[in-house]
Amino acid sequence: MNRSAALATLAVLATPRRWLGWASLAGALLQAGTLGALLLSLTVGLLGFHESTKAPLIPTTIVVELASAVVPLALAVRELRPQLQTRAARRRARTGPGTSKATGTV
């Protein structure tokens, strides 16, 4: 595990509950980036590295990288959805019914 992944893991584990969704989203994006880098190195090469699809751990690595991106993403959606819905409701309540969103006037 590289240092940035270890730091993201610790951030998710040590973060307060109200920031858990954002830390999970950051971890999911980091893992998606490492998966993308692996796929690039398998196809066109990345920074001079060309991975072979014949390597024995490539399928396992792809599955683990994919799972380590999907699980924190699901946690982020679970944690952030109520927060974002609350913000949207507050915004709608502030503008009031029948007001224009662009100008705030009727």
Residue pLDDT, tens place only, 54-83: 888 888 888 989 998 999 899 999 988 888
The pLDDT tens digits for 21-45 are 888 898 899 899 999 988 888 888 8
Count structural domains, the chain: 1
The residue segments making up the domain with residue 81 are: 3-95
Residue 106 falls within a domain, yes or no? no
Residue 70 falls within a domain, yes or no? yes
- How far is the C-alpha of 93 from the C-alpha of 97, rounded, in Å? 8
Residue 104, pLDDT above cutoff 60 = no
Q: What is the pLDDT of residue 103?
A: 58
Residue 12, pLDDT above cutoff 80 = no
C-beta of residue 80 within 8 angstroms of C-beta of residue 26: no
Tokens of 51: 């991975």
Residue 51 falls within a domain, yes or no? yes
Q: What is the pLDDT of residue 101?
A: 57
For the chain, what is the radius of gyration of the CA atoms?
A: 20
Rounded to two decimals, the pTM is: 0.69
